[in-house]
Amino acid sequence: MLFKKFKPFLGPKTFVFKDPDTGHEFKGRSIQDLILQVSGYRKQNDLEVIEYLPQTIENYLCTLPMHIGSCMPLKSPHRSIVMWAKGGVTLLKNIAYKTFCPQETADTRSEICYKCPQNQFPDKSKAFTNWANDMADRSVGSRRSKYHDSLGVCGICSCPLRSKVWFEGKIKLTPTELEEMKKINCWQPEFAK
């Protein structure tokens, strides 16, 4: 999933952020206010610094329903560990797993993802990345696809593939993501909203 930022002359209608490690919700008067609150909170609680925090907060705000249509993809973002993990967070927020595809479908998808050059493995040494991937795995319970252990995250949408192959329903993709996925014969465009 691409990181997003607000379009020129548009801004957030509210300023909120949920800490990825503790779930603590912050409310502020501006993005800068949220940055100060989150940074202070994480320091006081001996939590790891979130890299690219301003972009992470702005992207989080862009995922809120009230901001649909107000944001655009962030061009050439730094693909830090936080951004890889953000795919997992966004996946959980936007794709509530209520139904799952059949085992055979998940196995077919996992084979496509396993062979895909976009099947990537970010540095998993950081707690934030592990948290996001663990949460994505929990969203599918004990289900395992044929290539479960060989799946990382999608280099295009940043979603954890081990859980995404199980998703049943429509998938949110940006026009850029959709175009890139079509070029590599990904299974996801067929299910795009």
Strands 25-27 and 16-18: antiparallel
Please indicate, yes or no, if residue 89 is contained in any of the structural domains: no
Co-location of 141 and 183 in the same domain? yes
pLDDT of residue 31: 93
Co-location of 58 and 19 in the same domain? yes
Among 64, 70, 132, smallest CA distance to 94 is for 64
pLDDT of residue 53: 86
List C-alpha distances in Å: 23 to 1, 35, 130, 152.
Answer: 21, 16, 15, 24
Co-location of 10 and 53 in the same domain? yes
pLDDT of residue 158: 78
Considering its fold, how many domains does the chain have in total?
2
pLDDT of residue 193: 76
The whole-model pTM stands at: 0.51
Tokens of 174: 């940006």
In which element (H, E) is residue 51 found? Answer: none
pLDDT of residue 136: 64
pLDDT of residue 56: 87
Please indicate, yes or no, if residue 69 is contained in any of the structural domains: yes
pLDDT of residue 130: 61
Domain span at 127: 94-191
Per-residue pLDDT tens, the chain, 193 aa: give them.
457 889 988 999 999 999 887 889 999 999 999 999 999 999 998 888 887 788 889 988 988 889 988 998 766 444 454 454 445 444 444 444 567 899 999 999 999 999 999 988 765 555 555 655 666 666 677 889 999 988 888 888 878 888 889 888 888 888 888 899 999 999 999 988 7
Tokens of 55: 């972009």
Residue type, 69: G
Residue that finishes a domain, picked among 47, 78, 109 = 78
Co-location of 66 and 117 in the same domain? no
Co-location of 43 and 102 in the same domain? no
Residue that finishes a domain, picked among 78, 113, 129 = 78
Please indicate, yes or no, if residue 149 is contained in any of the structural domains: yes
